[in-house]
Amino acid sequence: MGDGMPLEIWLRNARKEDLSLIVELLKNGNLPYEDIPSKLDCMFIVYSEKIVGIGGIEIYGKYGLLRSVVIKEEFRGKGYGMKLCMKLIEKARQRGVRELYLLTTTAERFFRKLGFNVAERERVPEVIQKTDEFSSLCPSTALCMMKRI
């Protein structure tokens, strides 16, 4: 595979038996995981030849929250994260999302490449502000970003 683009990736909805994998990947990535048992329906498992990572989208009408994007360490730096996010953005668009939000403490440059821009937390729609991710799990110092899709 080298340094070129990764092989094709596929997403599948997360299932109960994926819970320990998801929590482990989020813990290893220093990302919030406490609410994952109640958010399994918004999580996806990402495959290439084997599982390469996870990601999720919480959908609230025309607003969405991109969250919990983690690529396993051995697959990082090979384009999988970019491909995963593009697929998640497309899924959100297909479900009627028009504004996609996220919080990050470490990946501002990565998300800028995907067209996200810094957004003021106070201007984020209330339905997104009330998510566990926004209200309690992510630190208040996390950068808020938004993309119109």
CATH superfamily label, 10-148: Gcn5-related N-acetyltransferase (GNAT) (3.40.630.30)
Q: What is the mean pLDDT of residues 40-59?
A: 95
pLDDT at 102 over 70: yes
Q: 6 pLDDT band (50/70/90 cuts)?
A: low
Confirm if 104 and 143 have CB atoms less than 8 A apart: yes
- Domain range summary for the chain, segments of one domain joined by +: 10-148
- Report pTM: 0.87
Question: Would you call 125 exposed, middle or buried from its count of C-beta atoms within 10 A (0-12, 13-18, 19+)?
Answer: middle
Distance CA 129, CA 145 (A): 13
Least confident residue range of 2-16, 48-62, 86-100: 2-16
pLDDT at 134 over 50: yes
DSSP string, 33-87: -TTHHHHGGGEEEEESSSEEEEEEEEEETTEEEEEEEEE-GGGTTTTHHHHHHHH
pLDDT at 139 over 90: no
